[in-house]
Structure 1
Amino acid sequence: MQGKKYGLIMVVALLVLLVPITLLIRSVDLTSPVFDSFGLFITLLTDSAGHKGFLITLAVLGVAMLRLPLSREAVLAKGLQLAVILLIGFASKTALKELTESPRPYTEYLAQAELIDSAENFYHLSAPQRDEVIENASHHVSTWRTLHWQGEKDYSFPSGHTIFVAICVAFFGGLFLQHRHWASLAILMTWAGGVCYSRLWIGMHRPEDLFASTAFVALVYIVTPSFPKIARLLVPYVPIRLFSQR
């Protein structure tokens, strides 16, 4: 637990950061006009934590991690730990969505606009019918929002994007804090807050989805080991040039 204190501090920091973010966007008007520049910015943010861009985000953060004064064994151990946390997080997200069956906030708008009978009814429609309903909504809602609605028609809870963000904050943020890389830490937290904001703005999640997803990651982070013995066995098989020489 001692070695994880920095990561847990950063998860708590993310939870604190979520408070002003959710207050700022507590009431979202999904029909409000959107400037293209802002819509593109939000799209890039949310995609950086989704299936389109999470690997790029991991690669960038991984390069930043390799610049830290870590031994080869430590980097391998951390990498294994990260892989397990990501696997647990993504698998749990899928299972919890099917278990909770919480409608996404935008389906509530669709019901209010009388495009569907109820938010729950949206999930009983066929795929083509869901597409048609969202297409009808695009007459009153910016395509910068409905574009994402078309891509994510599953349930709301938990937030997979927030789970990924919280994992990055706990894992990489903890390392940046421990080694006092303040610039990297500031950029990471700004990105994390931006992604969380984007999920609320688009109409994908409620504040409780974000808070619960972050708390869930904290729990997974606590119970996941760091695999030092396995890392020690793998060290001879990893090229030295991948690591900082210290």
Structure 2
Amino acid sequence: MRSNPPSNLYFSVVLLWSGLTLIPAAIYLGGLSLFPWLELSSLKAQILFGLTSSGTAPYGVLTVLALLLACYLLLPRKQLVPLLFSVCLAMGLSLGLNHFLKPYFGHPRPNVQFLAENQGLSLSGFYQASQPTRRILMAQEVAKLSQEIKLPQETKLSLSPKIAQHWQDEVGYSFPSGHTLFAVTLTLVVSYFLLAAQRFLFAALLCLWALAMGFSRMLLGMHWPQDVLAASLLGGLIALLALLITEKWRAIGQG
């Protein structure tokens, strides 16, 4: 790994970070909202749900383990301990920050905003309720979407059973996107080691996964563009911090 100066690796990670941030920034600055563009009972929606599930507990843990296994097969053995340390540190920081920021900002999700505007759901009542009560309220609102009653045309939004269940499970606040934060942080940390080992294709595929994760969250009605943009920015900062701490730790160990 020392054949590639860490400064060059950091620069490469920053370039990847810029790419991951550019698209959600363009969507946000363009004033676009990707929900409800997609019919959520379609095959495309099912594919997006499968993608978003790779960042949803408990499947997110399996994603991390599968990625670590791939790195075990692809990277030099001496990089595995620093990689594991970096991933654990970055994941811990991202989970803690996401847990703090969501209730601090208290932004409603796009799907909840949609239900409030079209079906009369009370935003204040919904978010003041407990998590179990929110799930009950969401189940009731989702049921209304499929009822053959006189509702405004724009509320005729069909959900697949899995996506309907996802709406009922994810009833927290919107800002920032935890799934995107998870994907961007993990991608940038692992890409640092992949680039050092010249595994460029794998790093590129990881970046595509992180980008697609953000799109899946917006198209499924779970997050606004600013949620994904903020998560992408935070993910880069956390990844760089974790990598800097790891390199400092390695330098002390070699000293």
In which range does the TM-score fall when normalised by the shorter chain?
A: 0.7 to 0.9
What is the alpha-carbon distance in structure 2 between the residues aligned to residue 107 and residue 33 of structure 1?
Answer: 17
Q: Which residue of 1 aligns with 2:193?
A: 175
The share of aligned pairs that are identical, in percent, is: 22
Answer yes or no: is the 8 Å Cα contact 2:109–2:223 preserved in 1: yes
What is the alpha-carbon distance in structure 2 between the residues aligned to residue 223 and residue 133 of structure 1?
Answer: 42
1:94-243 map, 5 Å: 94-117=99-122, 119-125=123-129, 126-127=133-134, 128-139=136-147, 140-144=156-160, 145-224=163-242, 225-226=245-246, 227-228=249-250
Q: Secondary structure at the match of 1:155?
A: coil
Question: Shift of residue 135 of structure 1?
Answer: 2.8
Answer yes or no: is the 8 Å Cα contact 2:40–2:220 preserved in 1: no
What is the alpha-carbon distance in structure 2 between the residues aligned to residue 31 and residue 46 of structure 1?
Answer: 17
Q: Which amino acid aligns with 1:216?
A: L
Question: Shift of residue 193 of structure 1?
Answer: 1.8
TM-score of the pair, normalised by structure 2? 0.78
Count of aligned pairs between the two proteins: 230
Q: Which amino acid aligns with 1:192?
A: A
Structure 2 residue 34 is matched with structure 1 residue 28: yes
Evaluate the alpha carbon distance shift between residue 64 and residue 231 of structure 1 in structure 2; reply closer, same or farther with a 3 A threshold. farther
Q: Which residue of 2 aligns with 1:86?
A: 91
User: Which blocks of at least 5 consecutive residues in structure 1 are unaligned?
Assistant: 233-246
Evaluate the alpha carbon distance shift between residue 44 and residue 52 of structure 1 in structure 2; reply closer, same or farther with a 3 A threshold. farther
Q: Secondary structure at the match of 1:50?
A: coil
Question: Shift of residue 67 of structure 1?
Answer: 3.3
What is the alpha-carbon distance in structure 2 between the residues aligned to residue 138 and residue 30 of structure 1?
Answer: 16
* Superimposed CA distance per residue, residues 158-216 of structure 1 (whole angstroms, 9 cap, x where no aligned partner): 11100111112211222333333232123212222221111000111111111111111
1:37-48 map, 5 Å: 37-48=43-54
Structure 2 residue 59 is matched with structure 1 residue 53: yes
Output the aligned Cα RMSD.
2.7
What is the alpha-carbon distance in structure 1 between the residues aligned to residue 41 and residue 168 of structure 2?
Answer: 20
Answer yes or no: is the 8 Å Cα contact 1:30–1:203 preserved in 2: yes
TM-score of the pair, normalised by structure 1? 0.81
Evaluate the alpha carbon distance shift between residue 94 and residue 18 of structure 1 in structure 2; reply closer, same or farther with a 3 A threshold. same
